Amino acid sequence: MNKPYTMKFKLETFSVHDSRTPEGKTYKAGVPLRSSEDLDRVARGLYAELDADKEHFVLVALNNKNRMTGHKLISTGSVTASLVDPKSVFTAALELQAVALLCVHNHPSGDPQPSQEDITLTRRLKECAELLNFRLLDHVVLGDDRYFSFSDKGML
């Protein structure tokens, strides 16, 4: 018996076509991201294609109406760390013609509590964003079934 053909949606580096979330919702380019919950749903769709046992840092680009215009995987690290250079983040932001930015990375341990390195990186990214006239709206750390939002905690 032949297996039915199943189609997987792929995300290209600089344009978003479709992304399936764990809840089965579909997010397309132009979807407004208005909260950390929205980013969590979109990010989980993006991270479904990545190795769960490594830390990955992704930049999500938004236009002036906070609509998603693209994303880029900035860094893939080890089980405990991913080195992120602000130059790489803002080079991608310029290439994606972003107005506003959302940063997201995962913790393979499942605990989304940010490390001191995460806090320092977020502070540096915020400073750089202000210098380059980008709005850094949030940095979310994904855990197993929960997340940590720097914006929700007043740390941005």
Integer CA distances (angstroms), 144 to 48, 132, 148, in order? 12, 33, 11
Which pLDDT value is given to residue 23? 45
Provide the pLDDT for residue 149.
97
pLDDT at 32: 87
Least confident of 5-14, 91-100, 114-123: 5-14
pLDDT surpasses 60 at 5: no
CATH class, domain 19-149, is: alpha beta
The pTM is what? 0.80
At residue 22, the pLDDT reads 41
Judged against a pLDDT cut of 60, whether residue 6 lies above it is answered with no
**What does the pLDDT look like over 31-87, one tens digit per residue?**
789 999 999 999 999 999 888 899 999 999 999 999 999 999 999 988 777 889 999
Q: Which residues of 93-122 are buried (b: 16+ CB within 10 A; e: fewer)?
A: beebebbbbbbbbbbbeeebebeeebeebb
pLDDT at 17 over 50: no
Domains in the chain: boundaries: 19-149
pLDDT digits (tens, 9 = 90+) for 87-113: 999 999 999 999 999 999 999 999 999
